[in-house]
Structure 1
Amino acid sequence: MDMGFLATATFWKYASMPFISAIIGYITNVVAIKMMFHPIEFVGLWKPYLGWQGIVPRKAAKMSAIATDTITQNLIDSEEIFARLDPEEVAEHLKVPLNEMTEDLVDQVMRTHHPEVWSRTPQAARETIVARIQSTIPQAIADTVRDLRKDVNQVFDLKNMVVTNLVHHKELMNRIFLETGDKEFRFIARSGAYFGFPLGLLQMFVWMFYQPFWLLPAVGLMVGWFTNWAALKMIFNPKDKHRVGPFELHGLFFKRQRDVASAYGDLVANEVLSPINILQQVLRGPYSDRIFTIIAHRVGEAIDESAGPIRSFMSWTVGDVNYIRLKQTAVERLIAQTPDAQDRPSPAMQSFVDYADRELAIEQTLVERMRQLPPREFEGMLRPAFEEDEWILITVGAALGLAVGVFQFVVLFGGG
């Protein structure tokens, strides 16, 4: 070969083809991954036709339902969660935060409903009422936990809790997939270059002898399509190990089952099935009216017991009907003052959170059981992000590859 040819523009145009093909493969795969998760909300002119929303956020309800089925059917259920909580221990760890709010609670309720009566009540009598309530509330909480454990599914909807958290916080759904499948997504991106380079070499040799206008766009399309398709296949196939000579074939996702289980367990336990989230679901979920009835009954008993001889005075002063309404308001305020799931628990509530974390051991349970899942159930942790709409990812890759192929033909080779 004439060495002078190596310095010509024509040579470098040809030499660039495998590298451009590798870049096409990499970029199309990266863009396809980005389009799976972003934007979180629809961006465009006419939903759903002119614009785009990430596949995972768009299908958040369906994907969270699938994830929930995997959790509740294969990993942990409501009965097991509540069976791990000891009623007396729960009461002990909630005693301090409840005591802290009891004095203010009683004062607020009385000032709201019966300000004149409360203003005439001696300070010693007020302190006696508060002290008696504080002494009986722990037993009321323990009795409430026992009532919950008898038929937990009547007051706690685990599936609704998980689905609601993930649908309302689509970025959390994205994190579950992205952090669980971090290495798989990086492989998809890199594989575009791995597969694109040899295809580019083939393209270069063919172009030397045969230069139809459609070749470069067609090869670009093929690179964009094939790299995404092949990467997806290599992640999820084969599900079981197969040895071919010195090589062991095993889907990348299944090969990393232990690591994936750790990432998933950590994220779900701390962001979805946290003690505060569970408490919020019990108190404010779809069955909150039932839990309200249970708490009202138990706390009402505690208030009656704590009032003792003062109860007759209270009933006579404010009336029996108002006394009952006063107890109901106390329960409502008690529930309303529980911490929100998004807030950091107070130092007093942190004791309960630490206890619940330790006893529930949700992260440890999820990790251990996920590692033991058979391949088909384990596949359900990440596969839903691809399966139904993976044709979109492949099509996007093909379309971007086609566009770059047209660019090559027009810019590098002058459109023929």
Structure 2
Amino acid sequence: MGAILQDFNQHWMLYLSIPVVAALIGYVTKILAIKMMFYPVEFRGKKPFLGWQGIVPKHAAKMAGIACDTLTEQLLTPQEVVSRLDPERIVNEVEGPLRQAIEEIVEEVASTYQPGMWEALPKAVRRAMIQRVQNDAPRMLTEIMDEIKSDVDNVFDLKAMVVTALVRDKELLNRIFLEAGDKEFQFIRRSGAVFGFVIGLVQMSAWVLFKAPILMPMFGLFTGWFTDWLALKMIFRPQQPTTYFGLFEWQGLFLKRRKEVSEAYGELIAREIVTPRNIIEAVLRGPLSDKVLALVTRKVDEELNRRTSIAKPLVVFAVGGRRYQDLKGRIAEMVMGKLPETMSYIEDYAADAMDIRNTLVSKMQQLDAEEFEELLRPAFREEEWMLIATGALLGFAVGEVQVVALEFLT
């Protein structure tokens, strides 16, 4: 024992560096693990094996699908998104740009299908005809909006919209997890240093007593592995506040921050993903837009029949039956082409009316612990073993360096 104490007194600064290095291992491996989860966004290296892509962006479609399942199955439905919109208010909001769009459509259609006749009409007559169509357009748009609202699931795929947005913008996908789990990632980094230091004290004692070269790399491996594993456990477990050893209470950090996480998540989704602009784009140009086009075509047909009910045979005779069908299709396509720009004028109103942020925050408060955990857990679950293994291997390598340094200096 005397020889051990003498050795410690002689080399105490060197030995005290052991827990410091262990703390550094714990801290650095956590930073590396977090970076590996999210970066780089695109693969860097030589495929298929020599390189790396962040786990979340690598599995973007799967991660987006998981995030979207929670969003669309428990928090929002397509009906809920659009049910708060008032078609009449929308028409009022877009009246100016709608009238301009109608004028452009009438001018182009008339000059294309009956150029001579249209140009021969007096300007006042052409103006009156355009105004007549403009005056009827709000009613037609209201009817289209009413039908979309009544059958929204058939024309608006909320899940496809969200998944498409997240797969296209992997940085945004990263931000969902990073912003929702900001405090958790800070905890992981700090806990790695604390846990590593505690393990390092045991490691120092073992080295002072035995000086076995295998101790350092094995303790390094254990530090890298255990601190990763424990930090992840402490983020999500236990789901309910639990007292340990009668001394302290702990609840999984993510679940404990439910209110704060809900507000951050709701804000991000409402600001970046489920926005009026994205919804309009999805309805008018998304995977179900052909059904909206069919709806618009039917409305155009009804409107033309209403306007030409008596003179329809003459109109068909004048332009030709086939060209008359082409005319209806062309009008519908032009309406669809003008609608995105026209509807952009309702974005401020729609954002207030839909109130996505507050709806999400309220719904998230109602999720049970398992459902709430799924907002962040998938980012850790996918290839979690690789993150822990990387931390362990890094710790082992640093331990080997420590052995060389200790033997050289003592």
Question: TM-score, normalising length from structure 2?
Answer: 0.90
Alpha-carbon distance in structure 1 between the residues aligned to 2:406 and 2:332: 76
C-alpha displacement at 1:127, in angstroms? 2.0
Please show how residues 81-230 of structure 1 align to structure 2 within 5 Å: 81-111=81-111, 115-230=115-230
Structure 2 regions of 5+ residues with no counterpart?
none
Alpha-carbon distance in structure 1 between the residues aligned to 2:148 and 2:17: 69
Alpha-carbon distance in structure 1 between the residues aligned to 2:140 and 2:46: 56
Give 3-state SS (helix, strand or coil) of 2:381's partner: coil
Q: Which of residues 368, 376, 393 is equivalent to 2:370?
A: 376
1:401 aligns with 2:402: no
Give 3-state SS (helix, strand or coil) of 1:39's partner: coil
- What residue number does 2:356 align with? 362
- What residue number does 2:57 align with? 57
Whether the 8 Å CA contact 2:8–2:208 is kept in 1: the answer is no
Please show how residues 173-322 of structure 1 align to structure 2 within 5 Å: 173-244=173-244, 245-302=246-303, 317-322=318-323
Distance 1:305 1:217, change over 3 A: same
Give 3-state SS (helix, strand or coil) of 1:243's partner: strand
- What residue number does 1:71 align with? 71
What do residues 33-55 of structure 1 show as CA deviations (whole Å, max 9, x unaligned)? 010011111122122x2211111
Give 3-state SS (helix, strand or coil) of 2:408's partner: coil
Distance 1:41 1:301, change over 3 A: same
C-alpha displacement at 1:384, in angstroms? 0.8
Alpha-carbon distance in structure 2 between the residues aligned to 1:408 and 1:110: 85
Letter in 1 for 2:59: K
Query: Which has the larger displacement, 251-260 or 118-127?
Result: 118-127
What is the root-mean-square deviation in Å for CA atoms of aligned residues? 2.9
Which 4+ stretches in 1 moved above 6 angstroms?
4-8, 306-314
Alpha-carbon distance in structure 2 between the residues aligned to 1:406 and 1:120: 93
What do residues 61-120 of structure 1 show as CA deviations (whole Å, max 9, x unaligned)? 112111222122211211222222222222222323222322233334445555555444
Alpha-carbon distance in structure 2 between the residues aligned to 1:312 and 1:131: 24
Give 3-state SS (helix, strand or coil) of 1:414's partner: helix
Distance 1:222 1:295, change over 3 A: same
Whether the 8 Å CA contact 1:133–1:302 is kept in 2: the answer is no
What do residues 289-322 of structure 1 show as CA deviations (whole Å, max 9, x unaligned)? 1110111222444456568999888656533432
C-alpha displacement at 1:6, in angstroms? 9.5
C-alpha displacement at 1:29, in angstroms? 0.3
What do residues 237-262 of structure 1 show as CA deviations (whole Å, max 9, x unaligned)? 00112234352221000000001001
Letter in 2 for 1:265: G
C-alpha displacement at 1:126, in angstroms? 3.0
Give 3-state SS (helix, strand or coil) of 1:248's partner: strand
Alpha-carbon distance in structure 2 between the residues aligned to 1:223 and 1:376: 29
C-alpha displacement at 1:129, in angstroms? 2.9
What do residues 228-282 of structure 1 show as CA deviations (whole Å, max 9, x unaligned)? 1111000000011223435222100000000100111111122111111111111
C-alpha displacement at 1:353, in angstroms? 1.0
C-alpha displacement at 1:191, in angstroms? 1.0
Give 3-state SS (helix, strand or coil) of 1:44's partner: strand
C-alpha displacement at 1:18, in angstroms? 1.2
Structure 1 regions of 5+ residues with no counterpart?
340-345
Whether the 8 Å CA contact 2:113–2:319 is kept in 1: the answer is no
Letter in 2 for 1:365: T
C-alpha displacement at 1:410, in angstroms? 2.7
Whether the 8 Å CA contact 1:133–1:307 is kept in 2: the answer is no
C-alpha displacement at 1:405, in angstroms? 1.5
C-alpha displacement at 1:178, in angstroms? 0.3
Whether the 8 Å CA contact 2:277–2:347 is kept in 1: the answer is yes
Alpha-carbon distance in structure 1 between the residues aligned to 2:33 and 2:260: 24
Whether the 8 Å CA contact 1:132–1:306 is kept in 2: the answer is no
Whether the 8 Å CA contact 2:277–2:344 is kept in 1: the answer is no
Question: TM-score, normalising length from structure 1?
Answer: 0.89
Distance 1:44 1:310, change over 3 A: farther
Give 3-state SS (helix, strand or coil) of 2:375's partner: coil
Distance 1:312 1:270, change over 3 A: farther
Whether the 8 Å CA contact 2:283–2:289 is kept in 1: the answer is yes
Please show how residues 327-346 of structure 1 align to structure 2 within 5 Å: 327-339=328-340
Alpha-carbon distance in structure 2 between the residues aligned to 1:312 and 1:95: 33
